[in-house]
Structure 1
Amino acid sequence: MAKENVLPELKRRIKEGQTGGIFLFYGEERYLKDFYLGKLKEAIPDGSFAEFNHVFLDGKSLAFDQVDDAVESFPVMSDRKLVCIKDSGAFKAPGEEVKQYWMHRLKTLPQEVTLVFDETEVDKRSATYKAAAKAGLAVEFSYMKEYELVNWVERAAMRAKKRITKENAQYFVSICDEGLSTLSQELDKLLNYCGEEILRSDIEKVVSKSVGVKVFELTEQMMAKDAGKALQVLNDLKTAKEPVFKLLYLLFSTFDKMLRCKLMLAEGAGFAEVAEQAGIAGFLVQKYAAGAKRFGEAYLVERLLRICEIDLAIKEGMTEDWPALERFVLDSVQHG
């Protein structure tokens, strides 16, 4: 069964105990995949023989006979068994031998077996994906949208008998890394620290900001022409052992979003349209727009090209990474 949104169907099957057959979980949202895999484990008791009835296999180093052994061996002291394969690679451009094996295996799954594929990426055009989706349930777990994350935070705070304003929930979401795993960990820290209400000051004291947010802060100091603070942010990133290539990528992304904001707003687009087209969270568009006003269009284009030049120079051994990045920051402060 392959549809754009099959999560309600997955919930229904788990609730009604219809957990047999094939489940293909894919996407970048690890937290939700783990959550629903846990629900399937609960729905398929191991009969106190987890080693035999709950089998987890690493697809990256998996032989076909291991799959056959796991699938074809009978459950022990139970009428069901769960077999989960992580990152099999069977659904993203598999070789002919792999393709033929899985096309056959998917058609010959014993009734007592629940087979779960835990994949990061799939190719929906592949024959194996289509076969798995037709025979079972293919569920995509993408990162949630901004408003969904904000609602999730508000509900979690309510369950903990805490209050948080929508504005503070939006700010909290905006400074965390993508994904519910990080968001959940940071929210736990926050709930344990705060009083009856989660305040902005609590968020500032407790929550670890994402690298992307720190890079945006770096560009803010560039815009403010504050070399001291800009270099301090950069030094903090260096101390945290963040890779230079990652920082260059994030700087490129930040300047690129500023340029897009500038061009789209100049053409009369509203903030909502800019957010959708440029891939910027709605509550961050105004910050990018403000940054775009402080940099000229030509300068933003030049900075983007300069980042590409630095990236290439480092890779070709023509310059050292951190000194090159520091020079870029100082040059941006002096000539922005």
Structure 2
Amino acid sequence: MVLDVWKQIKKKQFSPVYVLYGTESFLINETKHLLMKYALNEEEMEFNFATYDLEETPIEVALEDAETFPFMGERRLILMNNPYFLTAEKSKAKTEHNLKKLESYLQEPAPYSIIVFAGSYEKLDERKKLTKELKRKGIVVEAKKLNEQELKLWVKERAALNRVSIDEEAVEQMLTLAGTNLFMLTTEIDKLALYATEGNTITVAMVHELVSRSLEQNIFVLVDNIVQRKIDAAFRIYYDLLKQNEEPIKILSILSGQFRLIYQVKELARKGYGQQQIAGSIKVHPFRVKLAAGQAKLFKDEELTKIMQLLAEADYQSKTGAMNKELIIEMFLFRLQGGI
């Protein structure tokens, strides 16, 4: 798991070779950043750090750098981005690589160099001899979406990095309000840490007061008010979003998506699917499935069906221009207020 690799790096326990791949770019970038921070000091960066794009530079050129003794330091760090030859994906790159040279290097990696292959590829080609050899000789990190437990642990570790702690309830509320995007979570945790000040604890009250809500999270709260039958509160959120110049059509799209998610979660749960299975089936984060499952329990089947029909009508009206776009969602909320 990527968090375990980060712990090793912070202890300066380095592998001679890393392979970073996956669709969660934040985790790839953070791993690179940690390697740069802990493998080299500021003075060494100028002489012992290099980065190459393997869609433009032959692998043998990068390996020559890795085989060069470090200057004024203990080690060298070489980043090799876009190693497309480790995947089954087709690349437009015209660079030819002497992969035999890489195979030879892996037999006896330079003890003073760390080489890092990094690319936002969904998967590696496990059939390739080179991929298997890299797995044997180095550390392979799949940067995939963190599950709920991993996310919560990551939030705590990010807080600890800022020399503060965070309450369990605050962690839960943070994920509910800010979502699961790691870039956004990083910004929010760092901001809360500054507010709490070093050595103190981030509380749920601080999260409520300071965390910025994305449009998606505001829609989630709007939906939650509908779930709780607090239609007046849902109206207030909608009008606040309009004041923030959010586009009504975009609001409608996200609103429809949230109710579609609730409907799908309810149906799949009825068929016996667990939260992880549902997340994999409809390709959303398990934490979102957990929240949607809680909301789904508060709706009868016929109520959800009626809401889906109302949203389909609203979508048709928005596309045909049959009604003022701001009024479309108002009418949807008024009809809910009158009873689903």
**Normalising by structure 1, what TM-score?**
0.70
Q: Which residue number in structure 1 is paired with residue 56 of structure 2?
A: 63
Q: 1:275 & 1:236 partners in 2: Cα distance?
A: 37
Among 85, 89, 93, the residue aligned to 2:89: 93
The letter for the 1-side match of 2:119 is: E
User: What amino acid is aligned across from residue 71 of structure 1 in structure 2?
Assistant: L
Give 1:206's aligned residue. 210
Task: Quote the residue 1:238 is aligned against.
Answer: 245
8 Å CA contact retained: 2:162, 2:190: no
1:237 and 1:131 mapped to 2: Cα distance? Answer: 53
Distance of aligned partners of 1:192 and 1:64 in 2 relative to their CA distance in 1, 3 Å threshold: closer
* Mean CA deviation greater in 301-310 or 210-219: 301-310
**Do the aligned partners of residues 233 and 274 (structure 1) sit closer, same or farther apart at CA in structure 2, a change above 3 Å counting?**
farther
Quote the RMSD (CA, aligned, Å).
4.4
Q: Mark the runs of 5 or more structure 2 residues left unpaired by the alignment.
A: 280-284
CA 1:167–1:155: 2 relative to 1, 3 Å:
same
Separation of aligned partners in 2, 1:252 and 1:83: 46
**Paired position in structure 2 for 1:258:** 262
Does the CA-based 8 Å contact 2:159-2:190 persist in structure 1?
A: no
Q: 1:161 to 1:16 in 2, by over 3 A?
A: closer
- Aligned-pair distance for 1:54? 0.9
| Distance 1:43-1:197 versus aligned 2 partners, 3 A rule | closer
The aligned residue for residue 72 of structure 1 is: 64
CA distance in 1, matches of 2:222, 2:168: 26
Q: Residues of 1 paired with 2:48 and 2:160: CA distance?
A: 38
Residue 49 of structure 1 and its aligned partner are, at CA, apart by 5.5
- Aligned residues of 1:17 and 1:43 also touching (Cα < 8 A): no
Equivalent residue in structure 2 for 1:284, among 264, 288, 291: 291
SS at match of 1:122: coil
**What is the rounded CA distance, in whole Å, between the counterparts of 2:74 and 2:211 in structure 1?**
46
In 2 relative to 1, CA 131–210 (structure 1 residues): closer, same or farther, beyond 3 Å? Answer: farther
What aligned pairs does 1:156-235 form with structure 2 within 5 A after superposition? 164-194=166-196, 197-220=201-224, 224-226=230-232, 228-235=235-242
Task: Quote the offset at 1:333 in angstroms.
Answer: 1.3
The aligned residue for residue 329 of structure 2 is 329
Tell me the percent identity: 19
Question: Is 2:19 the partner of 1:24?
Answer: yes
Q: Is the 8 A contact 1:106 1:131 kept in 2?
A: no
Whole-angstrom distance in 2 between the partners of 1:218 and 1:17:
47
* 1:236 Cα deviation after fit: 5.0
Instruction: Find the aligned partners of 1:192 and 1:14 in 2 and give their Cα distance.
Output: 23
SS in structure 1 at match of 2:221:
helix
Name the CA distance, whole Å, in 2 between partners of 1:182 and 1:194. Answer: 18
- What is the identity, as a one-letter code, of the residue corresponding to 1:117? F
Aligned residues of 1:215 and 1:251 also touching (Cα < 8 A):
yes
Helix, strand or coil for the counterpart of 1:219?
helix
Equivalent residue for 1:84? 79
Query: Which stretch of structure 1 is more off in the superposition, 138-147 or 216-225?
Result: 216-225
Q: Provide the rounded CA distance (Å) in 1 between the counterparts of 2:42 and 2:163.
A: 37
- Does the 8 Å contact 1:47/1:76 carry over to 2? no
Amino acid at match of 1:145: N
Cα distance in structure 2, aligned partners of 1:192 and 1:142: 29
Residue of structure 2 equivalent to 1:273: 274
Q: Distance in 1 between matches of 2:40 and 2:162?
A: 30
Residues 122/284 of structure 1: CA separation in 2 closer, same or farther (3 Å cut): closer
State the Cα deviation string for residues 152-204 of structure 1 (Å, max 9, x = none): 44566678786654223211222123244432331232233248554433212
Q: Which residue of 1 aligns with 2:102?
A: 106
What is the correspondence of 1:114-193 to structure 2 with a 5 Å cutoff? 114-125=114-125, 127=128, 129-130=131-132, 132-134=134-136, 136-154=138-156, 164-193=166-195
Partners of 2:294 and 2:308 lie apart in 1 by 19
Deviations 1:24-70 (A, max 9, x none): 112344454344324433564479463452112356xx4234x5433
For 1:201 and 1:47, how far apart are their aligned partners in 2?
39
What is the TM-score when the length of structure 2 is the normalising length?
Answer: 0.69
Which structure 1 residue ranges, 5 or more long, are not aligned?
Answer: none
Tell me how far 1:332 sits from its aligned partner. Answer: 2.2
Of 166-175 and 145-154, deviating more is 145-154
Answer yes or no: is the 8 Å Cα contact 2:162–2:193 preserved in 1: yes
The answer as to whether partners of 1:28 and 1:141 remain within 8 angstroms in 2 is yes
Change (3 A) 1:121 1:206: same
User: Quick one: distance in 1 between partners of 2:49 and 2:114?
Assistant: 10
Letter in 1 for 2:274: E
Contact 1:176-1:209 within 8 A present in 2 as well: yes
Length, aligned pairs only: 315
